[in-house]
Amino acid sequence: MDLSFEWIIKIIETNWPMFLRGAGVTLLIALIGTIFGALIGLLAGIIRTIPIPERGAKRGFLKFINIILSIYIEFFRGTPMIVQAMVIFYGSAAAFGWQMNPIIAGVVIVAINTGAYMAEIVRGGIISVDAGQYEAAQAIGMNHVQTMTHVVMPQVIRNILPATGNQFIINIKDTAVLSVISVTELFFQTKTVAGNNFRYFEAFFIVCIIYFILTYAVTLILRYFERKLDGPDNYTVVGSHAQMDAGEHKGIGQ
Amino acid sequence: METVIDIQRLSKSFGNHEVLKDIHFSVNKGEVVCIIGSSGSGKSTLLRCVNLLEKPSGGKIIYNGENILDDKHDIHAYRRRLGMVFQQFNLFNNHNVLGNCVVGQMKVLKRSREEAEKVALKYLKVVGMDRFVNAKPRQLSGGQKQRVAIARALSMEPDVLLFDEPTSALDPEMVGEVLKVMKELAETGLTMLIVTHEMEFAKEVSDRVVFMDKGVIAEEGSPDQIFNHPTGERTREFLKRTLREI
């Protein structure tokens, strides 16, 4: 019974419900955290790229909001998530007497953290949309909100999709740090399993594989969505004798 | 003749660089006006000032009897009356050909999808792109993109159509197809203001040619006057240089 392989089988056989539950909690926190984080990031990124008017009350207000957003982004990007988890979980208990549900606390921490990163990703995505796209929308008579919703943001969302997927994968792995506030995610469960059996290598080897399966599955799903969003590479030319006419049209005016 | 846009004492500076100085200039209904001049003469800036993509530093732009540079004037309402065709096409990358021609009509003019598509198809037919409604901008050639861009502008049924060097970014063999469409539009009586380097085209389609040099309008007149009997020294020099190149 000392062979690792046999232990791995045994641990899986007896503890699979714990791994499954842990994986479920990890995915739940990572998914909801990433979605809310992306929404926070979208909002923050959009606000930070609103052109600041030259004068008026709106200018002061916008500048104030921008400063607040900068502080938020720099602070949460500049401190480890494991420390933020401790500060928020124990801080809210000490200051307000809240006994936060660890899973909810975990989602909040992941969302706030992701939001700080996503804000910069979104800002970069907005800046990288060609100025000509704004100009064409403005020239057609669209206002700033219409320009953003119908022209710029759809392109931004497509462009930030790979970075968002990246963030989701990072979150699946980083939820492991939430074990410090007793969130019963995958890493926490594994520690328990390992402790119960006094078999650390085997338990963590199993969880290593589980983490990889989770992240790789997410990668594949995101790739599929990206391809869906890009649409087919071909297009159909409408009308009869389509191919011939398409050729003719390229030749107009020659 | 009815004046559509009347520009008075218009000036534009970038920092301390004065790009446009004291421009007086108007466009009449049904007229085709070409603006020519060497690079850096301010002709594109003038065009971009007309639809306020650049904010003029001073002067007036009178449209329908109102100065649209007044603070209280609704810029968006004014812009939707002008069409713009860009050098770099600037088709909306997130829409297909039909979407490009429809989105402005629906969101800005509040037309129904049905009506917008009907109008879009009508103008896509005019530019010979009606069979490519499903194509995405990235799947089209430069000339095709520019023809779609023209259809997009026409779909808004503007009072004036502005062209900012519409063929300068095109491969030589695609210039013809775009100029042909523009020529056909000119014949329909559409009011057009065109910044161009295509001298033969300007000579052929314009009712009036404006020659710009160093931020001012150096000479203005009929194509015959400008191309065959220019009075200004600079106009003559410019034409000698560009016509020799052709």
Angle of the A102-128 helix axis to the A4-48 helix axis, nearest 10: 50
Q: Lowest mean pLDDT of A219-233, B8-22, B141-155, name the range.
A: A219-233
By C-alpha distance, the chain B residue nearest A132 is B90
Q: Which of B77, B82, B86 sits opposite A132 (nearest CB)?
A: B86
Domain that holds residue A61: 2-230
Q: Do A249 and B129 touch (CB under 8 A)?
A: yes
Handedness of CA B46, B52, B58, B63 (dihedral sign): positive
Q: Do A143 and B76 touch (CB under 8 A)?
A: yes
Task: Supply the ipTM of this predicted assembly.
Answer: 0.91
Gap between the Cα atoms of A21 and A190, Å rounded: 11
* Model confidence at A250: pLDDT above 50: no
Asked if residue A117 lies in contact with residue A41, where contact means CB atoms within 8 angstroms, the answer is yes
B179 confidence band (pLDDT: 50, 70, 90): very high
Residue A253 lies in a domain: no
The band of A254, judged by pLDDT with boundaries at 50, 70 and 90, is: very low
The string of pLDDT tens digits covering residues B70-81 is 888 889 999 999
pLDDT of residue A228: 86
- Enter the tokens of residue A111: 């969302």
Indicate the number of domains in chain A.
1
Minimum distance, in Å, between the CA of residue A253 and any CA atom of chain B: 4
Read off the pLDDT of each residue in A205-215 and give the average, rounded to a whole number: 94
Cβ-nearest to A235 among B79, B89, B134: B134
Distance of residue B104 Cα from the nearest chain A Cα, in angstroms: 6
Q: In what order do the strands lie in the sheet with B58-63?
A: B17-28, B3-14, B58-63, B66-67
Looking at the complex, report in whole angstroms how far the Cα of residue A184 sits from the nearest Cα belonging to chain B.
Answer: 42
Cα–Cα distance, A43 to B128 (Å, whole number) = 41
Contacts of A239 in chain B (CB under 8 A): 131
Question: How confident is the model at residue A2, as a pLDDT?
Answer: 64
State chain B's mean pLDDT as an integer. Answer: 93
- The three-state secondary structure class of B193 is strand
Residue B245 has what pLDDT?
58
- Subunit contact A239:B131, Cβ cutoff 8 A: yes
Cα(A216)–Cα(A95) distance, integer angstroms? 40
**Residue A226 Cα, gap to closest chain B Cα (Å):** 14
Pairwise CB contact (< 8 Å): A135 & B173: no
| Interface test with chain B among A126, A240, A252, A254, by most B beta carbons within 10 Å | A252
Contact residues, B window 108-137, toward A, CB-based 8 Å cutoff: 108, 128-136
Residues of B in contact with A139 (CB under 8 A): 51, 53, 79, 82-84, 86
A243 in a domain, yes or no?
A: no
Residue of A253 and B142 predicted with greater confidence? B142
Residue whose token pair is 């466009």: B27
HEC-encoded secondary structure of A51-95:
CCCCCCHHHHHHHHHHHHHHHHHHHHHCCCHHHHHHHHHHHHHHH
Question: Is there a contact between B135 and A235 if contact means CB atoms under 8 Å apart?
Answer: yes
Question: Which band of pLDDT confidence, cut at 50, 70 and 90, is reported for residue A251?
Answer: very low
CATH of the domain at A224: 1.10.3720.10
Q: Among partner residues B53, B79, B90, which is closest to A133 by beta-carbon distance?
A: B90
User: B155 — contact with chain A (CB < 8 Å)?
Assistant: no
Best mutation site among A55, A128, A140, A151 for testing chain B: the one with the most B CBs within 10 Å?
A: A140
State the distance between the two ends of chain B, measured CA to CA, in whole angstroms.
35
Which residues from B are below 8 Å from A160, CB to CB?
none
| pLDDT over 50 at A241, yes or no | no
The per-residue pLDDT for range A33-42, each reduced to its tens digit, is 999 999 999 9
C-alpha–C-alpha distance, residues B136 and A169, integer Å: 31
Residue carrying structure tokens 């219409």: A146
pTM of the model: 0.84
Task: Please provide the average confidence, as pLDDT, over all residues in chain A.
Answer: 87
Query: Is residue B232 less than 8 Å (CB to CB) from chain A?
Result: no
Please report the pLDDT score of residue A122 as a whole number. Answer: 95
Tell whether A206 is covered by a domain: yes
B131–A237: do the CB atoms touch at under 8 Å? yes
Question: Which superfamily is assigned to B3-244 in CATH?
Answer: P-loop containing nucleotide triphosphate hydrolases (3.40.50.300)
Q: Does some domain include residue A143?
A: yes
Percent of chain A with pLDDT over 70: 93
A226: pLDDT strictly greater than 90: no
Task: Tell me the count of A-B CB pairs closer than 8 A.
Answer: 104
